[in-house]
Amino acid sequence: MPIPEPKPARAVLSYLTQIQAVADTEIRKLRRDPSELLTRAFQPVVWLLLFGEVMANVRGLNTTGQSYLDFLAPGILAQSVLFSAIFYGISVIWERDLGVLHRQLVSPAPRSALVLGKAVSAGARGVAQAVIVYALALMLGIGLSFRPFDILGVIALIWLGSALFSTFSLMIACLVKTRERFMGIGQVLTMPIFFASNAIYPIELMPHWLQSVSLSNPLTYEVDGIRTLMLQNGLSRYGLPIDFAVLLVLTGLCVAIAAHLYPRLAE
Amino acid sequence: MSEPKAVIITDYLTKTYGDVPAVEAVSMTVMEGEIVGLIGPNGAGKSTLIKMLTTLLPPSSGDALIAGYSILTAPAKVRAHIGYVPQLLSSDGNLTGYENLLMSARLYLVPHHEREERIRSALALMELADAGDRLVQHYSGGMIRRLEIAQAMLHEPAILFLDEPTVGLDPVARHGIWKHMRELRDRVGMTMLMATHQMDEAEALCDRIAILHDGRLQAIGTPGALKADVSPDATLDDVFAAITGSEIAKEGSLRLIQQGRSSAHAHS
Ligand SMILES: Nc1ncnc2c1ncn2[C@@H]1O[C@H](COP(=O)(O)OP(=O)(O)OP(=O)(O)O)[C@@H](O)[C@H]1O
Ligand SMILES: [Mg+2]
C-alpha cells in the first residue's frame, strides 16, 4: 500500500513527524548513555576555574562594568555549545559507515527533515551543557538572571547555535566523508571560530582586521545574545534582534546546504 | 485476474566510477509479485545496481522506473513505494527493536493511530515479539536481519530490495529468513529483488534469476530455463561457471564475512 499523499494542511504535521523521527532516536541514545555529556562538562570547568580566575586579575581588561568572570561565563557557555556541535558530523560519518544512515536516506522523508532532526537533537545536547555551566556559574557567584523570559531566550539561543554549528558540521561531513579528514578539519576550524569572537575578551582589544573577522563570526552574536540574557546586568552590543536574526538566517542557509549535500553520504 | 504489470523496469542503467564501469547498460524488467535473484561474483555490481534502484546512488546514465516512477525525476515517490535491506547491517544497535521500528514508522508517516499496532504485528511476524524492548546490539545476526526486514516492510511497500539478506547467518537463521520472504510474497504479493552469492538461496526462493558479471547482465530467466540452456542435467553452479567462466566461492570472500559480522555489535 503506497503512502497516502499528504494534504497541504497535513504536510506541516508530516514534516514535523519526520523531524521527530530522527531527533527522538538521537535523544533516546543520549539519555541512555550520557557519559559524553559529562566528559564535555570538564572543559567549561577548566576554563572558568583556571583561566577565568587568573585572567580576572589582569588590569585594563575593560569588560564594560562586569567582572571578568561574569563576562567570561556566557562566552564559555557558547564555547561548549560550539565544541559539542561542531563535531556532530563525526557521528554522522560513523552512522554512514555502519549503514544506519542509509535507513533514513532511503525513506521518503525530505532530506531537510532528516538534517533538521539532527539539528534539533544537537540543540538538546546544547541545553544539557547549559545546565552544567549554569550550575558551575552559580557556585562561582556569577550574577545569573533567572527571569523566565531570559531563561527562555538563552534556551532559544543555545538551540539555534547548536543547530547552526551542527548543520555546518554536517555540511563538512558530507564533503569529506571520512572520520580522519573530518577530525583534521574540525580541529582547524574550532580554534579560529572560538578565538576570533567576543567569547573570552572584548573585541575592542583586537586589531582592526580581527575585529572585522569577529563581526562576521556567528559565534560573536551567539555570545552577545547569551551575555545579554544570562546575566542580571547583561547588556547587548548588537541588539537581541540582530543576534537572533544572524543566527536564524545562517542556520537556514546551513540546513539548506546540508540537505542538498546529505544524499552524498549514501553513495 | 488482472494483467501482470512490470514494477521494475531498468533502461540501460549505468554507473561508472572514474573509468571503471560498475554497472553497464543493464536493462531488465521485474513483474509484480516476482522474486528475482541477482547473482554475481564479488564486484559484479549487484549492490551498485540496487543502490541506484533505491535512489541512494545517482546513475551515470540510463534510467529506471520503480512502481511507475523514475528514479531520476521522482526519487521521493520511488522511496515511498520501496523497502530496502542493505548489505551492511543497518538497524541501530543503540536502540531497541521497538525504537528502530518507531523511527521507521515516523519516517514513513504510518498514521499515528496505526503505529503501535503495526509495530507490534511486524515484530510478531518476524518472531521478535519478546525481543522488542531489548537493545539491538544484544541481538543475534539472524534477529537483526529479521528486524531489518520488519523495518523495511513496515510501510507495506510494493517492492522490497534485499542485498544479500542471509550473509553471515547460520543455516537455521537462513531458512527463517527464506520462510519470511516467501510469506511476504504469498500474503501481500510483495515484489522482491534480492542480491545473493548463494546458488541454493537463489534456487529456493527466486522465480527468475539475473546473472551479473563485470557490471553486465549476462542472462536472465527461470532457474529451469537457465539450466536447460547449458545442459540437461546442469546445476545453477554449472550455469554460473558457463556464463562467468569462474566458480563462485562457496564460502564467500573474507571481505564479505567481515561485512556480515560488522553488525550492531561494533556499535558501542
Ligand atoms: N564508491 C566506490 N568507488 C569506486 N568504486 C566502487 C565504489 N563502490 C563500488 N565500486 C566498485 O564497483 C564494482 C561493483 O561493486 P558492487 O559493490 O556493486 O559489487 P557487488 O556485486 O555488490 O559485490 P559483493 O558481492 O562483493 O557485494 C566493484 O568493482 C567495486 O570495486
Ligand atoms: Mg554487494
**Residue whose CA is at the smallest distance from ligand 1 atom 8:** B48
Closest ligand 1 atom, residue B164 Cα: 27
Show residues of chain A in contact with B86, CB under 8 Å.
Answer: 99, 102-103
The pLDDT confidence band at residue A5, using thresholds 50, 70 and 90, is low
Report the residue of chain A nearest B93, measured CA to CA.
A100
Interface test with B, best of A18, A22, A100, A120 (most B CBs within 10 A): A100
Report helix, strand or coil for A223.
Answer: helix
Report helix, strand or coil for A231.
Answer: strand
Asked if the Cβ–Cβ distance from B89 to A107 is below 8 Å, we say: no
Ligand 1 mean position, distance from CA B255 (Å): 12
pLDDT value of position A233: 85
Q: How far is A55 from A72, CA to CA, in rounded Å?
A: 10
Domain spans in chain A, listed from the N-terminal domain onward: 68-266
Q: Which of A56-65, A107-116, A140-149, A206-215 has the lowest mean pLDDT?
A: A56-65
User: Within an 8 Å CB–CB cutoff, is residue A207 touching chain B?
Assistant: no
pLDDT value of position A67: 86
Q: Which residues of chain B carry a pLDDT beneath 70?
A: 1-2, 246-268
Backbone angles phi, psi at B14, to 5 degrees: -140, 140
Q: Which of residues 39-98 of A touch B (CB under 8 A)?
A: 98
Question: Is-contact B131 B139, C-beta < 8 A?
Answer: yes
The 3 state secondary structure assigned to chain B is CCCCCEEEEEEEEEEEECCEEEEEEECCEEECCCEEEEECCCCCCHHHHHHHHCCCCCCCEEEEEECCEECCCCHHHHHHHEEEECCCCCCCCCCEHHHHHHHHHHHCCCCHHHHHHHHHHHHHHCCCHHHCCCEHHHCCHHHHHHHHHHHHHCCCCCEEEEECCCCCCCHHHHHHHHHHHHHHHHHHCCEEEEEECCHHHHHHHCCEEEEEECCEEEEEECHHHHHHHHCCCCCHHHHHHHHHCCCCCCCCCHHHHHHHHCCHHHHC
Show residues of chain B in contact with A110, CB under 8 Å.
Answer: 76
Residue with cell 529468513: B177
ipTM score for this prediction: 0.89
A186-209 average pLDDT score: 91
pLDDT value of position B65: 97
Ligand 2 mean position, distance from CA B58 (Å): 17
**Residue whose CA is at the smallest distance from ligand 1 atom 29:** B43
- pLDDT for B95-138, tens place per residue? 999 999 999 999 999 999 999 999 999 999 889 999 999 999 99
* pLDDT surpasses 60 at A237: yes
A19-44 average pLDDT score: 90
Asked if the Cβ–Cβ distance from B99 to A25 is below 8 Å, we say: yes
**What is the 8-class DSSP label of residue A6?**
P
Report the residue of chain B nearest A111, measured CA to CA.
B76
Question: pTM of the full predicted structure?
Answer: 0.90
Asked if the Cβ–Cβ distance from A2 to B67 is below 8 Å, we say: yes
Ligand 2 mean position, distance from CA B48 (Å): 7
pLDDT value of position B246: 63
Hey, CA dihedral for A172, A175, A181, A184, is it positive or negative? negative
Mean pLDDT score of chain A: 91
From B13, B15, B17, the mutation candidate for ligand 1 (largest count of ligand atoms within 8 A of CB) is B17
- Residues whose beta carbon lies within 6 Å of some atom of ligand 1: B 17, 22, 40, 42-48, 87, 256
Closest ligand 1 atom, residue B197 Cα: 25
A116-121 average pLDDT score: 96
Interface test with A, best of B107, B187, B188, B258 (most A CBs within 10 A): B107
The pLDDT confidence band at residue A3, using thresholds 50, 70 and 90, is low
Ligand 2 mean position, distance from CA A22 (Å): 27
Instruction: Using alpha carbons, select from B182, B187, B206, B190 the residue that is nearest to residue B158.
Output: B190
